[in-house]
Structure 1
Amino acid sequence: MTSMHFRRNAGRALAALALAGSVAVSPVAAPPAHAFFGGGFGGIVYDPRNHAENILSAARALEQINNQIQQLQNEAQMLINQARNLASLPHSSLAELQASVQRTQQLLSEAQRIAHDVAAIDRAFTEDYGAAAAAGDFDARIAGARNRWETSVAGFEDALKVQAGVVGNIEGARAEMAALVARSQSATGALQAAQAGNQILALQSAQIADLTAAIAAQNRAQSLEAARAASAEAQARENLNRFLDYGSGYTPTTVRLFGG
């Protein structure tokens, strides 16, 4: 706005000087090449054309300075924008998200009897499930069946605990989501917006981890129950075979009666 105002005033001044110069050099007036003023002032010479050129040169120099000032202002604004784009988001959900995931992991690690461990599962199924359920005497088979039943009940209890923990994390996730969305909408630069978006993705990852834990715990309980049922079936067949096994059967022998 200042530059346009200056250009408009400079144009008017140049037009006025041009008109004055045309009058000064008009054939009607027929002035001399140089105008002299006042003999008592030591013969000062005034050249209108030279004066107009000096003013025009000064106007051009001033316009260049004004352009440079405008360029510096643009560069300063660009630096301000860059500083905003590099400003870090003042809110972080990392600690809360890590705590939420750790709570879920803690619930999974508290699994009773058979843990979420490949070696532990392999050992348990080798010793107490499948064909092993039908091994041993009657008392051992009864103890094994009871142990498998208790393991299935504990699996369902663990699944309920994990599900309760996941449900408890929902409120915290909702609060963090609201805070991150608000920060994203009020972000002053690209970095803050990107960081808010990354934290929202991290929150979604934590929720996916909770969902995975709940599904894993539920499937564990169902798998233990299915294994118990399969082992019970194998044990029942063995019990029936032992019940129907009459040994070598009846062998007739000679009997001597008294008084013969």
Structure 2
Amino acid sequence: MKTVRHLAAVSAVVLSLVFAAPASAQFVVFDPTNYAQNVLTAANTLQQINNQITGLQNQARMLINQARNLASLPYSSLQTIQQSIAQTQQLLNQAQRIAYDVQQIDQAFSTQYGGANMAASSAALIDGARQRWQNSVAGFQDALRVQAGIVQGVETARSEASALISSSQSAEGALQASQAGNQLLALQSKQLADVTALLASQGRAQSLEMARQAEAQEQAREQMRRFIAPGQGYQAGHVSMFHN
């Protein structure tokens, strides 16, 4: 009985101490599992934030690239190219005498190059030959003028090509590169137009000269025919030697 009373007294003392202790003196319990879960949650949240930041950066780069692709080329040579083509066209339009016109060519060949007119007078034949010679001279002069105009534009074409190549190499986006390429194609088209104009002017001059030579041969045959054609033979008649 004494032992039981001793245990009961000890228990009462312990309980009185526990309930009498202040709140600040309570022990903090550390839970490793809960702590690890909290750390993992924080790491996942940080990774999501980093992913969002990376996505925003990629979108910003995409918008910048789109803006560059939509930016126009600051340099344009189209006006210079158009002016050069217009100058060459003006030289062709200034063709003398027989111009680049189908109806005018047909009319000229039907009247001036249609063969020697056997009924025409010698003066008319000479005048026709002079007109054809003037046509040939005018054709060669027009060809030389076109050549001179094209040669004068060579330096302009070189300068524009250099500027366009430089702009193409420094293009920031697809639109600028495409515009530079299109202008280079326009410059090449202008050069092809110059070559076409040159060939047309030279061909016109050569055609007029060949037509003149052919007509000159025909006229020479007609003049020779007239020279050797027999005239009216001698006919006897009465001649009075003395007058009463």
Whether the TM-score (by the shorter chain) exceeds 0.5 is: yes
State yes or no: 1:154 paired with 2:138: yes
Per the alignment, residue 155 of structure 2 pairs with 171
Per the alignment, residue 250 of structure 1 pairs with 233
Q: Is the 8 A contact 1:133 1:145 kept in 2?
A: no
Post-superposition CA distance 1:68-105 (Å, at most 9, x none): 11111112112211211221111111100000000000
Per-residue deviation, 1:49: 1.8
Q: Which amino acid letter does the alignment assign opposite residue 104 of structure 1?
A: T
Per the alignment, residue 62 of structure 1 pairs with 46
Q: Is the 8 A contact 2:116 2:125 kept in 1?
A: no
- Are residues 221 and 135 of structure 1, via their aligned partners in 2, closer, same or farther at CA, if it must alter by over 3 Å? farther
Select the residue among 220, 227, 230 that pairs with 1:236: 220
State yes or no: 1:207 paired with 2:191: yes
Per-residue deviation, 1:42: 7.9
Per-residue deviation, 1:184: 0.6
Select the residue among 76, 80, 89 that pairs with 1:105: 89
Post-superposition CA distance 1:196-217 (Å, at most 9, x none): 1111111011011111111111
Per-residue deviation, 1:195: 1.0
Give the Cα separation in 2 of the matches to 1:44 and 1:133: 134
- Are residues 86 and 41 of structure 1, via their aligned partners in 2, closer, same or farther at CA, if it must alter by over 3 Å? farther
Select the residue among 68, 86, 90 that pairs with 2:70: 86
- Are residues 72 and 251 of structure 1, via their aligned partners in 2, closer, same or farther at CA, if it must alter by over 3 Å? same
Q: Is the 8 A contact 2:113 2:211 kept in 1?
A: yes
Q: Which amino acid letter does the alignment assign opposite residue 188 of structure 1?
A: E
How many aligned residue pairs are there?
Answer: 221
Counting aligned pairs with the same residue, the percent is 58
TM-score (norm 1): 0.78
Higher relative contact order (CA 8 A, sep 6+): 2
Report SS of the residue matched to 1:130: coil
Q: Is the 8 A contact 2:70 2:174 kept in 1?
A: yes
Per the alignment, residue 139 of structure 1 pairs with 123
Give the Cα separation in 2 of the matches to 1:111 and 1:43: 113
Select the residue among 167, 185, 190 that pairs with 2:174: 190
Give the Cα separation in 2 of the matches to 1:163 and 1:228: 23
Larger radius of gyration: 2
Give the Cα separation in 1 of the matches to 2:137 and 2:35: 107
Select the residue among 111, 114, 125 that pairs with 1:127: 111
What are the ranges of 5 or more consecutive residues in structure 1 without an aligned counterpart?
1-37
Q: Is the 8 A contact 2:68 2:173 kept in 1?
A: yes
Per-residue deviation, 1:45: 5.8
Per-residue deviation, 1:253: 5.8
Per-residue deviation, 1:175: 0.6
Per-residue deviation, 1:152: 0.7
- Are residues 200 and 103 of structure 1, via their aligned partners in 2, closer, same or farther at CA, if it must alter by over 3 Å? same
Per-residue deviation, 1:174: 0.7
Post-superposition CA distance 1:22-46 (Å, at most 9, x none): xxxxxxxxxxxxxxxx833788765
- Are residues 257 and 172 of structure 1, via their aligned partners in 2, closer, same or farther at CA, if it must alter by over 3 Å? closer
Q: Which amino acid letter does the alignment assign opposite residue 63 of structure 1?
A: Q
Q: Which amino acid letter does the alignment assign opposite residue 166 of structure 2?
A: A
TM-score (norm 2): 0.83
Give the Cα separation in 2 of the matches to 1:44 and 1:243: 145
Kindly report structure 1 stretches of 4+ aligned residues shifted beyond 4 Å: 41-46, 132-135, 251-258
Per-residue deviation, 1:137: 1.2
Over aligned residue pairs, what C-alpha RMSD do you find?
2.4
Give the Cα separation in 2 of the matches to 1:56 and 1:147: 105
Give the Cα separation in 2 of the matches to 1:221 and 1:134: 28
Post-superposition CA distance 1:51-75 (Å, at most 9, x none): 2211211110111111111111112
